Structure 1
Amino acid sequence: MLKRYPFLKYSLGVLASLILIIVCFGFWFVSLLPAKKLNIENTIAEEIPYLSQNRISNRGKILTVVTSTAVMGKSQKKTGYELTELSRAYYVFQANGYEVSVASPLGGKAPVVLDKEDMGIYDYAFLNDEEAKEKINNTLVLEDIDFKEYDAVFFVGGKGAMFDFPNHPMIHEMLKNYYENNKVIGAVCHGPAALVNVKLSNGSALLKDKKITSFTNEEELFLIPEAKNIFPFLLEEEIRKQGAKFISSEKYLEKVNHDENIITGQNPWSTWKVAETMIKQLGHTPKEREITGEENAVSVLAVYKSKGKKAAKEKISEFMFDNSKPVDRLLIAQHSMLEVLGGKVSGFVDLVSLVSFIKSCEKKLLKNN
């Protein structure tokens, strides 16, 4: 048959070559990824200097609120609160001298989303923290709380928040009281759903004319194309409808808006900054913390988006050689795949080259040491 149809032989040869190239590229790409961190799952809070050293005496109380919703509407898709958005804020508040409570609309054990690819030492320390486990397994019922005891409230993200935060009477009453008494309000990712539909004493919407951010329409629809049919509304869209000045960044990069006593973050990667901005709003300089490799990677991605690959490489060198700071190449590799899914081949190539550059920097540092 191949003699009779020579073009078929040529086509099979091309196909075989393409398959070989793809397989070789796949092995090379995997080789760029960091090895799994050993024993990170066993991290305990006492091993982290930020949490165990130079402890700050009690300054007050902060309430964190998580969703009680375990399923997204009629879709049967599982949901809950995002562990990383609670654990990181929890430890920032605690390290800065605040007692932290965890509440939910229904109380008890709230449904949680664990994304192991995004989890770091603080998240595993939280899971191994007996006091924290007691709080998340027995969350306080919102309606039973005397919210006046707290100096601030923080609404944790997770898609479940879209269902039980927007119309909860206790949340409405609390936020009206906190805003009008200049108490601190924080929310991240889908957490700002709590701000929707809140009316102040003068009848105006809490969100009117406020600089707000949240998980964006672009981020939502990229992950769940049918989101409009699953959620009661798209969060960015609803926030805009209620008169807010919605300000966002590139998808899946850090963005925090601070307007008076309201601090909001766009997505999970904004959690650290939201929590530390809340501490500033409470009148304190946040305790010094070693910035994580993930946060440095997000900074590199922001430079890449605004200034290009060359500037991003310079930022990597600055972190790693000038300041001896890690850069999480796994996160940048994950963003390279997002570029592919978005049809941006050039972006994929650029980010893969950045991952390769980080790996080569790590080798140089290891050799020099």
Structure 2
Amino acid sequence: MSKKRRIRRILKWSLITFSALLVILFCFGLWFKSLLPPKQIGLENSLAQHLPYLSENKVTKRGKILAVVTSTDKMGASEKSTGYELTELARAYYVFEANGFEVDIASPLGGKPPVIIDDDDMGAYDYAFLNDSIAQYKTSHTIAVENIDPSEYQAVFFAGGKGAMFDFPDNKAIQAIVREYYQSNKVVGAVCHGPAALVNVLLDNNRPLLEDKMVSGFTNEEELLLIPDAEAIFPFLLQDKLTAQGAHVNEGTMYLKKISHDTNLITGQNPWSTWELAETMIKQLGYTPKYREVTAEENAVRILSVYHQQGSQKARELIKKMMVTEHKEVNRVLIASHSIIAAMKGDIGQFYDIIGLVSYAKKQVSS
């Protein structure tokens, strides 16, 4: 066989193989998409007054909580946009309001801060927040933290968003609020990148607030998976900074709920920790949180947690119990997103396991 014929043959079979792979990937993509539910019609029109948690059995006013969000819209010298995470603010805001606390919203610069909205993470409460005229007025007219009177509030909550890494750590007004609240036994809460507000805070004894504290925050693993050059973009990695200041970082599974509760300091690892963190703050304030029906997203987080701790079979049993016996909704999109995370990490076994959970959950819908 001549050299030219061999080359043509190699090219031919390479093209056939490549085409076959494209067909397989296309078919897999169609199948994967078929596992996911269609977007819920009308979800974006959700209103607070139509959500029983917010409209029924209203709690008598108990005081005020301050929520603080970032004013930063770019990640350092990069052109990557940032802001506060809407879901983290919205969910905490409504937990506080439902439990009798008026919420004021502040930011380092005041005014209208930048916001990050991830459509895949949005639920009824998040859209209700966008449609809530009072909440939107507060987010468009945030109070500059330097103008805050700390005595007006029983607690402070720092929402995440990568911008917090730039304008929370060295803000003197934020440091003063955190120091005063912690030392006077008021509640300090922070979620995801929100714990950046806690770094560089010195107590009156000149020791770091974080020294020997159990805390959670966005982990290095979570940060670097999505932003491989994070160390060059951010002034520090949050987990590294927390550790350097003497904190004991309570690290959970990537992108799943994890809360740390150290006396009056309550922190959460990521956006999926927000519901529990806010309700833990209510408990620390001395109240039993108002009953709230667990969301489909929270059910998905619980299933994924069981999978990581006990394996696929136990996760499937929980799916069946939730969906068939208890008639609860499960967010299949969130579970599916974790299969993509597994693929990004190169864990093919976990990738197929989690896709199997999505497929199993879909089957329960029609059972």
TM value normalised by structure 2: 0.97
Give the unaligned 5+ runs of structure 2: none
Aligned to 1:183: 186
Aligned partners of 1:8 and 1:233: how far apart in 2? 49
Aligned to 2:151: 148
Summarize the alignment of residues 27-176 of structure 1 with structure 2, pairs less than 5 Å apart: 27-176=30-179
C-alpha displacement at 1:10, in angstroms? 4.7
Deviation by residue 1:277-306 (Cα, 9 ceiling, x = unmatched):
000000011000010110110111111111
Query: What SS class does the counterpart of residue 283 from structure 1 fall into?
Result: coil
Amino acid at match of 1:339: A
Aligned partners of 1:339 and 1:112: how far apart in 2? 28
Change (3 A) 1:41 1:4: closer
Aligned partners of 1:10 and 1:155: how far apart in 2? 58
Amino acid at match of 2:284: Q
1:193 matches 2:196: yes
Aligned to 1:204: 207
C-alpha displacement at 1:242, in angstroms? 0.4
Change (3 A) 1:16 1:232: closer
TM value normalised by structure 1: 0.96
Aligned to 2:300: 297
Amino acid at match of 1:37: Q
Deviation by residue 1:218-248 (Cα, 9 ceiling, x = unmatched):
1111111111111111110000000011111
C-alpha displacement at 1:18, in angstroms? 2.7
Deviation by residue 1:5-36 (Cα, 9 ceiling, x = unmatched):
65655554444333322221111111111101
Aligned partners of 1:4 and 1:163: how far apart in 2? 56
Query: What SS class does the counterpart of residue 101 from structure 1 fall into?
Result: strand
Match of 1:349 among 333, 348, 352: 352
The 8 Å contact of residues 107 and 140 in structure 1, kept in 2 or not, is answered as yes
Change (3 A) 1:14 1:73: closer
C-alpha displacement at 1:138, in angstroms? 0.2
Aligned partners of 2:166 and 2:9: how far apart in 1? 62
C-alpha displacement at 1:4, in angstroms? 9.2
Give the unaligned 5+ runs of structure 1: 365-369
C-alpha displacement at 1:327, in angstroms? 0.9
The 8 Å contact of residues 42 and 125 in structure 1, kept in 2 or not, is answered as yes
Change (3 A) 1:2 1:359: farther
Query: What SS class does the counterpart of residue 102 from structure 2 fall into?
Result: strand
Aligned residues: 364
Aligned partners of 2:80 and 2:7: how far apart in 1? 54
Match of 1:22 among 21, 25, 37: 25
Amino acid at match of 1:31: S
Aligned to 2:226: 223
Deviation by residue 1:189-213 (Cα, 9 ceiling, x = unmatched):
0000000000111111100000001
Change (3 A) 1:174 1:8: closer
The 8 Å contact of residues 2 and 9 in structure 1, kept in 2 or not, is answered as no
The 8 Å contact of residues 187 and 265 in structure 1, kept in 2 or not, is answered as yes
C-alpha displacement at 1:322, in angstroms? 2.2
1:361 matches 2:357: no
The 8 Å contact of residues 297 and 332 in structure 1, kept in 2 or not, is answered as yes
C-alpha displacement at 1:41, in angstroms? 0.6
Match of 1:272 among 275, 283, 299: 275
Match of 1:254 among 253, 257, 268: 257
Aligned to 1:335: 338
Aligned to 2:323: 320
Aligned partners of 1:124 and 1:15: how far apart in 2? 43
